[in-house]
Amino acid sequence: MKISFTTLGCKLNFAESSALGKALIERGHTRAKKDEPADICIINTCSVTDAADHKDRQMIHRIRRQNPNAILIVTGCYAQLKPDEIAHIEGVDYVLGQNEKFHLAEFIERLERSDVSRQKSAVSLIRPASSFALSSSSFREVEDFHGAYSRDDRTRCFLKVQDGCNYFCSYCTIPLARGKSRNPSIASLVKQAQEALNGGAKEIILSGVNIGDFGRSTGEHFIDLLRALDEAPQPPKGGEKGNYRIRISSCEPNLLSDEIIDFVAHSRHFAPHFHIPLQSGSNTVLKIMGRRYTRELFAERVAHIKSVMPHAFIGVDCMVGVRGETAECWAEYVDFIESLPVSQLHVFTYSERANTRMLEMDLEVVPQKERERRSKQLHEISARKTDAFYREHEGYEAVVLWEGNKKDGLMYGFTENYIKVSCPYDKSKVNTFERITVRLPYSADTPADTPDSAPAEQL
């Protein structure tokens, strides 16, 4: 059967979609080509905000219009949190929760063997084949770890190292969607990283829900995983030793220790690139949100990164408009963000989520228009900070990993510290490292006396 995958949301979702797709291909199915009708359409959803849910619904309607005769299966975080809502969307045939989606290949085989006609329902794989019921495993039931890494992009690989979260911040439903914090062994992850390198990947991105919490399932520690990945994987036969790099995705500031920062600074393969959730620059709001750090700790982490890696790129997650974010708190927030030497802000606008503690608190509610204004203000600050970071690096010698996409005769890539650069398209450069000098407007001049490929670190 011809299968199509549509993935929304985080890097973790993309890694899982890739693993699911591989399992289906190994069982004889094929991927539908772009604009080719599919027999089965799978949508892997996100549900981090109401806006994400809205995008999920839009995508479901779009995929159904494009594939009117296909079986439509919805899975992912939105499916876990709101299976009844999805099951009543016109055109949806099956809804699979977080546990069930990893049995997708077996489920599709059951569909092939049965003569069940398309119907609006949700299927639980823990029930007999003839029994159809909503498949939303509860938080306590979502505890198995299913490994995954993306194989769709030959250059970049998203390696799933952790899943779930035990924090239960007052505004967040991710623990309900993803389950308990859990992880595989370091040895198994080193093996998967080696497979990715053997398959041609040059960059590995460590992904998860709360990756700094790595070790709850195995008694190991995140720093031990970093050390193992920096030392153990070897390049494929004939490859240049050390010719790969690793990036750490989002890591909570209370878990991003000075030990980890110092290790990255002196490692062989890890990129000087960090993504740290802040969510608010007001200690009052951080306490309301149930965050496990203060803005002072956050500032210390950023300062330490910059002291040992002056060229490091630092991305920051910011949320605006949460309940209790008064005008005074907002002013503190903006002043704090302005003071930080960070490179980019990833801005989320708060939306009320069912089954969260914040809805039970007697707090000031920020009007929607004011939430939008605050979001716009942070986006403007982010643009200024990113532009300043790029301008600081004009003339900076870096190592870029060139990607395969071609646009207007140009190819693009990222340096170890996440500066996006371009040059005239050259097929021979795809998936190779090159030492360059960064020039505005962010193009790459290659020094004549340096080799085309050079070892590097990196996301």
CATH class of 304-392: alpha beta
How far apart (Å, rounded) are the C-alpha atoms in residues 434 and 422?
A: 12
Sorted by sequence, the CB contacts under 8 Å of residue 128 that are 6+ apart come out as none
Q: Which helix (H) or strand (E) holds 422?
A: strand 420-424
Q: Identify the three-state secondary structure at position 23.
A: helix
C-alpha atoms less than 13 angstroms from C-alpha of 123 in its C-beta half-sphere: 24
**pLDDT of the chain, 459 residues: tens digit per residue:** 899 999 998 888 888 888 888 888 888 899 988 888 899 999 999 998 888 999 999 999 999 999 999 999 999 999 999 998 999 899 999 999 887 888 888 888 887 776 544 444 444 333 222 223 334 445 445 566 666 667 555 688 899 999 999 999 999 998 888 889 999 999 999 999 998 888 889 999 999 999 999 999 999 999 999 999 998 767 665 555 458 999 999 999 999 999 999 999 999 999 999 999 999 999 999 999 999 999 999 999 999 999 999 999 999 999 999 999 999 999 999 999 999 999 999 999 999 998 999 999 999 999 999 999 999 999 999 999 999 999 999 999 999 999 988 999 999 999 999 999 999 999 999 999 999 999 876 555 443 333 222 222 222
* DSSP alpha helix (H) spans, 180-236: 186-198, 222-231
pLDDT value for 101:
85
CA distances from 156 to 15, 118, 206 (A): 11, 37, 11
Q: Which helix (H) or strand (E) holds 398?
A: strand 397-407
How far apart (Å, rounded) are the C-alpha atoms in residues 63 and 35?
A: 11
pLDDT value for 453:
27
Partners of 20 in the β-ladder: none
How far apart (Å, rounded) are the C-alpha atoms in residues 163 and 261?
A: 22
C-alpha atoms less than 13 angstroms from C-alpha of 148 in its C-beta half-sphere: 26
For residue 33, the 8-state DSSP code is P
CATH class of 2-137: alpha beta
Which of the following CATH numbers is that of domain 141-271: 1.10.10.10, 3.30.750.210, 3.60.21.10, 3.30.70.100?
Answer: 3.30.750.210
Judge contact between 393 and 355, C-beta under 8 A.
no
Nearest 5 degrees, angle CA 415-CA 378-CA 164? Answer: 70
How far apart (Å, rounded) are the C-alpha atoms in residues 348 and 375?
A: 7
pLDDT value for 46:
92
CB atoms under 10 Å from CB of 364, counted, come to: 10
Q: 239, exposed or middle or buried, with CB in 10 Å at 0-12, 13-18, 19+? A: middle
Q: Identify the three-state secondary structure at position 241.
A: coil
How far apart (Å, rounded) are the C-alpha atoms in residues 193 and 49?
A: 31
DSSP E strands, 306-367: 313-320, 344-349
pLDDT value for 446:
40
pLDDT value for 142:
54
pLDDT value for 155:
81
Closest CA relative to residue 262, chosen from 308, 302, 223, 226 = 308
How far apart (Å, rounded) are the C-alpha atoms in residues 170 and 279?
A: 12
pLDDT value for 137:
47
pLDDT tens by residue, 390-442: 999 999 999 999 998 899 999 999 999 999 999 999 999 999 999 999 987 65
Check whether the bond before 441 is cis (ω within 30° of 0).
yes
Q: Report residue 89 CA to chain centroid gap.
A: 27
Q: Is 291 left (phi over 0), alpha (psi -120 to 50) or beta?
A: beta
Contacts 24+ apart (CB under 8 A), 350-355: 350/49, 350/171, 350/319, 350/320, 350/321, 350/322, 350/323, 350/325, 351/49, 351/50, 351/51, 352/50, 353/49, 353/50, 353/171, 353/172, 353/173, 354/173, 355/173, 355/176
Partners of 415 in the β-ladder: 400
Contacts 24+ apart (CB under 8 A), 255-260: 255/210, 255/212, 255/213, 255/222, 256/212, 256/301, 257/223, 258/304, 259/223, 260/222, 260/223, 260/226
Q: Identify the three-state secondary structure at position 358.
A: helix
How far apart (Å, rounded) are the C-alpha atoms in residues 348 and 354?
A: 17
